[in-house]
Every structure is written in C-alpha cells, then in structure tokens.
Copies of this chain bind each other. A is one copy, B any other.
C-alpha cells in the first residue's frame, strides 16, 4: 500500500459518473444542481448514464471483489484512512459546493465532513481490530463417541458488491462516502453508489476523493463506482444487477419499498437495508413539566434544527392534557410562531412538506397550534405545531405519517391508559424519547410501563434530551422496526453497521495453508477468537 499524501490540487466538478475509476459522460438525460435558497441552477450540467454504465460498474465491482475481500486488515484500514484523508483534503471546496446545492450552512457541512471522515477512520480501527470477523474455533474431538467431531472454524466474510443510495438530507454523512459506503467498504465489499440528484457536485467531489484513494492504495478500480442516472431507472437496474449482493438505502418509504420489491423479485433475492421514515415520538410525563417553558423551547430547537430535515426529527410529542401541559403548549407555540422557515434541501422536499402539513392541518382530528413565518426564497415553509388527542392518534394511523420538515404533532393524553394505548398503537421508529420526573417521584410506575413499549418500537431510546444528533460510535443504533427501516436487526450508523454486509462461513477439517489468516492456528492477525465457546484473547490461544 502506498502512503503518499492526499491530492492537494482542487479537483473540479465536471458532471460525470465515475465508473471503476473512469469518467463517464452518459446520454440518458441531464441534471443540474439547484440552489434551493434561490431556485437557480448552479454548477455544471451532469450527463446522466443509463443501465449500461451500471452494468459496467457492477461487473468491475464483481471483478474487484476477490482482491478487495482478501486484503489484510491493515491494508483495508489504510485504504479507509486514505479515503478519509482525501475527503478531508477537499476542504472548503466541498463545504462551499455542498452549501450551494443544499442550502445548508457551510458550518453544518464542515461538521458533517468531520463526521464523515471520523466514521471512515473509526471503521478503519474496527477493521484492524478484527472483532467483527467473529472468528470461532471448535477443536476436533477425534475420540468422541459415538462420532468424532471434526475441526470446525467460522469466520464472517463480506457478502459481495453493495449498492448504496445516497440520501438527500446528509450530503456527506449519508451519501457517496457516508455510513453505508463506509460500512460496506469496511466489511470488504466493493460499492456502487447511485448519487442523489439533489447534490451532484458534492457527490462527484467525494466520489473523486474515494476514487483517488482506491488508486493510491493500489486497489482494483472496481472497488468503487459512482453513477448519476435518471429517476428510478438506474436505481432499479442497480438493485436488479445479478452481481449486487446487498443494498443500502436512505430515503422515502415508497422508494425503499420499491427497491425491496425489486430485490425480492430477483432470481436471487438479496437483502435491502432501507432506512425510511419515522416520527420519533417524544413522551413527556407529568413529572417532567416542572419547567414547561424551558422544555418547550428545547423541543422547538430540536424540531426546527436544519429545517427539520433529520431522520430523527421529533415529529410527535405526547403530552399530558391540561395544566402544565398547556403551559408547555403555550411556550412551544410562541417559539414556533417566532421561528422562520429555513430553505429546505430541494423544491420537491419543500412541496412535500407543504402537502404533508396541509393533510395534517385539514385532518378532522387535528388542530393547528402555531405556524412560523415563511422564510426567504421559494423553499422555506414555516415551522408548524399541530395538536390532536391520544384517542385520535391511537385510532388514525395516518397521523403517524412522517412529514419531513419542521412539523410536529402534539398528542394530548388525559390519563396513563390513554398514553399507553397511544404508545401501543405507535409504529416502528428510529428513536423514542422519554422525559420523566425523578426516579423516586410520581412518574416512576408509569416509566416502568412506558419503557418496554418504547424499546419494542425503536432502535434507540433516549432518556431526556432530543433525538436529533446521532453519535457515530460502538453502541449506537440507527435503525428500528418497520417502517423506520426494512429490517430492524441492523444499524446504519456506528461500528455495528459492518455486520449487515457479512455472512458466516464454516471451514471443516481445513489444512492450515488453506485457512484464511483469521482462522489459522498461529493467528497472524492477533484476533480475539471464540475457542470452544469461550472468547480468548490472542495471548490466551495456545
């Protein structure tokens, strides 16, 4: 592996796909980024590619797979760190381009770039440590009766090339070089990214950075490709390609379900890891309302952060009826009324937000509590605060539809039972948050009933605080039961995300020279391994 430093000359955005290291200008239509703050086009014209380029990218990924799969941990980790360095080296050009294409402030994108490269570096550490390989050795028992036991050794191997669909709302952290790409590359899977059309220049810059890292690391070019294609045609072709073994997607429920259908209908069905929609309920118990105004202000802060365009945006808040609950509502209403809309990521997202808001406002069981002012430009609808009863929320599933944006529904409950029934009716979520009074206070009994309902329904349960903000670490879960994701058994953020792209293989009675290093007696990768059922550190494996 080479150790030359990252490219420092500023790369240009030229409007091309990157297919296994080659710049490809297609003829399947054109795309131009739009500054959502003004509605005006920005950056070069992207020449979209069709299924033929997808096919080439997938073929190159399949060809690269055996080499990339078998890299030593140190080499794969070095590549991930190089990719991080290359993205970091994009510097201001990346944040400026991203800001122009998304309307997000440059400071936010600087933070997101730090998170993106931090994620790649954390996964490099995981790859080097090797615990994710889950190596297991069962000793042969040649004298066992009635039958001997053969030598059995298990290790997790990468599933194969992975298709990744970038998200609109995190142009760096959930896009071309984001969580799914990082996890797949860490697992040993080549990646073909379908770029999100909302931030093409940002995508190309990151794609070029990873492409450079692939080349600088001496890896086969097919380890990484990035395609810009029209509508769903290229995406469907990508998921249908027989060389693709798994899919990572962040987006709408309709989009996720369509990809799941394509994946299930293949001659060889494959898993789809789709992160789709959540309203991230926040449960406020009576004991948490000592300072209702402060709590309400913090809530509106989380609600309106980034124009509410987070998967973990708190879209539903369950609150006691009357009393201190009313004080919370008054303070929240004032904060929302004082707030102004911020430019959303695209015109389409702003339109969908307006439509979703209107559907809720027009709902017989919903009252409008407050509306903030419309912001500058064409795509900045004001934040909204709505209210309904726990009984209506329990009975009307359409009240749980996510409105992507700074729109929240207050659900007022008149009794513990009303709250519990509303929670039992709540669909799967990425997060659920509980605000309760002191452990020795009046909320204690209710907490005991509420927590299991939240754990059953969410991938992450917060005690106090707000769900926006997702730490990239070992214990993070960004996933959850349907419809939050297609499969709540994995996470798309944090180091456990590597697991979704691995499968176990057992070697039976294999000679030492045939075994992968992870399973050899001499344990050259110094792995902690499970020997006859017990985890043993390298120095404990005789």
Interface residues of A (CB under 8 A from B): 66, 70, 111, 125-126, 129, 131, 134, 136-138, 146-147, 149-150, 152-154, 157, 159-160, 260-261, 264, 268-269, 271, 428, 439, 447, 451-452, 455-456, 458-465, 469, 471, 473-477, 479, 481-483, 486-491, 495-496, 502-511, 513-514, 528, 530, 532-533, 535
Contacts and interface: CB of A to CB of B under 8 A. Distances in A.
Given A146-B111, A476-B154, A487-B271, A508 B459 contact: no
Contacts of A458: 505
Nearest to A478: B506
B533 A455 contact: no
A513 B448 CA distance: 10
Contacts of A503: 459, 479, 481, 488-489
Contacts of A461: 505-508, 510
Given A461-B508, A505-B460, A136 B474 contact: yes
Nearest to A495: B533
A149 B260 contact: no
Contacts of A502: 489
A152 B482 contact: no
A125 B533 contact: yes
The number of times this chain is found in the oligomer is 2
B514 A463 contact: yes
Contacts of A131: 530, 535
Contact of A491 (B271, B490, B504, B528): B504
Nearest to A245: B481
A505 B268 contact: no
Given A260-B269, A477-B154, A496 B505 contact: no
Given A264-B260, A507-B461, A514-B447, A473 B159 contact: no
Nearest to A512: B439
A153 B463 CA distance: 12
A82 B201 CA distance: 63
A138 B398 CA distance: 37
A483 B268 CA distance: 7
Nearest to A505: B455
A161 to B, nearest CB: 12
Contacts of A268: 428, 481-483
A349 B451 CA distance: 50
A476 B269 contact: no
A159 B146 CA distance: 37
B532 A460 contact: no
B495 A459 contact: no
A461 B535 CA distance: 23
A155 to B, nearest CB: 9
Given A447-B514, A495-B533, A535-B535, A138 B471 contact: yes
